Amino acid sequence: MASFIKFALVGCLNTGITIGTYSLLTYLNINYIIANVIGYSLGTLNSYIWNKNWVFKSKQEHKKVLFKFITVNLLTLGFNTLFLYLLVDKFHGSKFISQLLVTAVGLVINFSLNKIWTFKEENSNG
């Protein structure tokens, strides 16, 4: 439970970076999908640093963890982007509210995959 609380705190910071960037870029008339990808990417960079070193304290090889982390975040970004598109373009939802909804669901997906795969310490006993 402690790791989820730490993950959620980091997630709040990441969400602030993601939503802040998204809001600024859409305000500047950048396409909302492009704004989503840029904002999510900046949040992901922040997330990697904090999750590797503070939340999960991974001692795994950097390249291996980074590969897994990028994979999980690309899956989460794909989910976020697809559902953001559906909510905004197909269901005519608010760009901002839709972004908040997909971010909340993405948080749960991202935490689960990172905990069970990315930052799971390998058993050295074979």
Q: What is the DSSP string of 19-72?
A: HHHHHHHHHTT--HHHHHHHHHHHHHHHHHHHIIIIIS---S-HHHHHHHHHHH
Residues 6+ apart with CB under 8 A from 6: 54, 55
User: SS3 of 121, please?
Assistant: coil
**Per-residue pLDDT at 122 exceeds 70:** no
Residue 109 lies in a domain: yes
Residue 123 lies in a domain: no
* pLDDT above 90 coverage of the chain, percent: 53
pLDDT, tens digit, for every residue of 65-100?
A: 889 999 999 999 999 999 999 999 999 999 989 988
Domain range for 113 is: 2-118
Using CA atoms, how far apart are residues 106 and 53, in angstroms rounded to an integer?
Answer: 21
Residue 60 lies in a domain: yes
Domain count for the chain: 1
Return the pLDDT at 123.
55
The answer to whether the predicted template modeling score (pTM) of the entire model surpasses 0.95 is no
Residue 15 lies in a domain: yes
Residues 6+ apart with CB under 8 A from 119: 51, 52, 55, 56, 58, 60, 65
Q: Residue 110 — pLDDT band, cuts 50, 70, 90?
A: confident
Residue 124 lies in a domain: no
Tell me what the mean pLDDT of segment 32-61 comes to: 89
Residue 125 lies in a domain: no
Residue 103 lies in a domain: yes
Structure tokens at 93: 């939802």
Closest by alpha carbon to 7, among 58, 54, 67?
Answer: 54
Residue 9 lies in a domain: yes
